[in-house]
Amino acid sequence: MSTFLRFRGTERYLTNEALEASVNSALALERPLLVRGEPGTGKTLLAEAIAEALPARLISWNVKSTTRAQDGLYVYDTVQRLYDSRFGDGDIRDIRRYIKLGPMGQAISAGERTVLLIDEIDKADLEFPNDLLHELDRMHFTITETGDEITAKQRPMVIITSNNEKELPDAFLRRCVFHFIDFPDREFMKRVVAVHHPGLDDALAEQTLQAFFELRNMKGLRKRPSTSELIDWIAVLKKAGVAAVKLDQSLPFLGTLLKKEQDVGAYADRLAGGRKYRS
């Protein structure tokens, strides 16, 4: 029987069958796992949970709009070398001193299995995923400046997150195992809350969930609150010693749930029955 580690979530990270099937498929097939879903549904946390469960070292690569695929492999610090050539010390003829491995380069060159998180890949340039195809397939790259070839001894487990956006090229998608994180239903959310706030008063948990889901289902919100906001909100309520919340009154610490001025206005109009939030 083939043996590979089955992912079942961790104490702090709850999963469901669909997510486990995706993670285990990715682990077994050695393909990148592409995770998509609304912001705040725990896409990034999943990578941490997998790293914890394997266990393996987690290497994060937070993609920004200016990130290039090459940066993930290595950066050749020419400026430093130029500087050293005039004023510095050390051996400037040794190019290796000026090659700095990026997150993906580190993951590939590590002797052991690592978990590589490529976070928010959709933020980068449109061509970015295509530029990564070869390295993701082969787990191999060459440092052109020195001619060094680096091949992974153990393929890193790659987790790629992307927001709810239709952005990624087909060739890239075909190589990934895909998982779409649903927004948790109430039952699941209750468990999530219990994990993050153990020993929370049952009544308060019920009320906050009630308020949260009603707020989420309200039409006309620009940014609907998500899991992380609920967790934060409960943390604030606990700190402030609030024992009960009700949606028909003014909600305490509304700012942790609704982050846009228009949303606060919409909330005031519909539920709080007044315009006290409107200036």
Residue from 46, 51, 53, 264 touching another protein (CB under 8 A): that is 53
Distance CA 191, CA 43 (A): 17
Instruction: Enumerate residues 110-129 that contact another protein by CB under 8 A.
Output: 126
Q: What is the C-alpha R_g of the chain?
A: 23
* Nearest CB to another protein, comparing residues 89 and 187: 187
Residue from 89, 187, 241, 279 touching another protein (CB under 8 A): that is 187
For position 64 contacting another protein by CB under 8 A, the verdict is no
Residue from 84, 131, 148, 167 touching another protein (CB under 8 A): that is 167
Distance CA 247, CA 244 (A): 10
Structure-block tokens of residue 240: 């402030």
For position 67 contacting another protein by CB under 8 A, the verdict is no
**What's the residue count for the chain?**
279
- The least CB distance from residue 245 to another protein, in Å, is 25
Distance CA 102, CA 76 (A): 10
- Amino acid at position 79, single letter: V
For position 43 contacting another protein by CB under 8 A, the verdict is no
Q: Give the closest residue to 157 by CA, choosing from 108, 88, 89, 229.
A: 108
- By CB under 8 A, the count of residues binding another protein is 49
* Nearest CB to another protein, comparing residues 36 and 43: 36
- Amino acid at position 103, single letter: P
Residue from 178, 213, 253, 277 touching another protein (CB under 8 A): that is 178
For position 21 contacting another protein by CB under 8 A, the verdict is yes
* Nearest CB to another protein, comparing residues 21 and 268: 21
Written as one string, the DSSP assignment of 97-141 is GGEEE-HHHHHHH-SS-EEEEEE-GGGS-TTHHHHHHHHHHH-EE
- The least CB distance from residue 10 to another protein, in Å, is 6
Structure-block tokens of residue 96: 């290796």
Stretch that binds another protein, among 31-39, 207-215, 229-237, 239-247 (CB under 8 A): 31-39
For position 199 contacting another protein by CB under 8 A, the verdict is no
188, 16 contact by CB (below 8 A): yes
Structure-block tokens of residue 227: 């899991």
For position 217 contacting another protein by CB under 8 A, the verdict is no
Q: How many CB atoms lie within 10 A of CB 211?
A: 21
Which chain residues interact with another protein by CB under 8 A?
Answer: 1-2, 4, 6, 8-11, 14-18, 20-22, 24-26, 28-29, 31, 34, 36, 53, 78-79, 82, 85-86, 126, 164-168, 170, 173-180, 182, 187-188, 191
